[in-house]
Structure 1
Amino acid sequence: MTNKEKKEILDFLNNWGNGLLAKNLGIQFSEVTEDSLSATMPVDEGVHQPFGILHGGASCVLAETLGSCLSNIFIDKEKYYAVGTNINSNHLRSIRKGMVTGTAKFIRKGKTMHVSEIEIRNEKGDLINYTTMTNNVIAK
């Protein structure tokens, strides 16, 4: 994948779906490779649960956004779309403020099913959340 192709993909993803949940949480795509996709999300009061730490649902939104987008950028968009059918998320460490970075990588990239793993880390590199996700690739 060329730098130009990477830039086009990131520009598309960062400008896709304005007003939707991922945008409302401040998710910004930052890196794409042949088999991975990364994004950042700020951790502040807007994504806290009542105890003042990152809400597990917000972690799931970041993970699912990454897993879904990873599948959708690597299929023929004229013929198919990928939708999430299963997500398993493990919240491993809390965070109160700062930035988290999630990276989704394919475990399996088949014709009709994609399975990815998503790691969300804090700014020190500590693992905050580990998620696996399954997407079905469906004909339009």
Structure 2
Amino acid sequence: MQALQMNIKHTSKELVKVDMPVTDSVKQPMGFLHGGASVALAETAASIGGMQHIDEKTQAVVGMEINCNHLKAKKDGILTAKASPIHLGKTSMVWNIEIEDEKKQLIAISRCTLGIINL
């Protein structure tokens, strides 16, 4: 999170918001936001959300699968990932993540499956 300058803005069991600036460190060679940075932002928001539903002393959440549709290119600005749960099971969770820019334009959508493991 620190390397990509991500900041947690809101955390609850129903919604997590994480911001990330579009800087040179998250751009691909043509100067646009790298899709991998969007995916990292999405999985971070989902994982923080997943942690709200487990006992962190005895369990952890791990990414099992993630997909991401990149809908709009960005060269600058601030992105906000908004993660909300779709499914909360005993051994897995599925989270929906929408990534918007500072103008509330939808930049990417993602779905992330988290596994719940015992420590």
TM above 0.5, yes or no, is yes
- In the TM superposition, what are the counterparts of 1:36-115 in structure 2 within 5 Å? 36-115=15-94
- 1:116 matched to 2:100? The reply is no
Q: Is the 8 A contact 2:13 2:52 kept in 1?
A: no
Shift of 1:73: 2.5
Q: Which residue of 2 aligns with 1:5?
A: none
Please list the CA deviations of residues 65-108 of structure 1 after superposition, one character each: whole Å capped at 9, or x if unmatched: 11112112321111111101000111110111010100110001
- Matched residue count: 119
Give the alignment's Cα RMSD to 1 decimal: 0.9
Q: Which has the higher contact order (CA 8 A, sep 6+)?
A: 2
Give the structure 1 partner of residue 5 of structure 2: 26
Which segments of structure 1 move beyond 4 Å, counting only runs of 4 or more?
none
Specify which structure has the higher proportion of helix: 1
Q: TM-score, normalised by structure 1?
A: 0.82
Uncovered stretches (5+) of structure 2, i.e. residues with no partner: none
What is the deviation of 1:37? 0.5
Stretches of structure 1 that go unaligned for 5 or more consecutive residues are 1-21
Aligned to 1:13: none
% identical aligned pairs: 38
**TM-aligned CA deviation for residue 34 of structure 1:** 2.8
Which amino acid letter does the alignment assign opposite residue 86 of structure 1? E
Kept after mapping to 1: 8 A contact 2:8/2:19: yes
- TM-score normalised by length of structure 2: 0.96
Asked which structure has the greater CA Rg, the reply is 1
When you count strand as a share of all residues, which structure comes out higher?
A: 2
> Structure 2 counterpart of 1:37, which letter?
V
Q: In structure 2, give the amino acid aligned to 1:63.
A: A
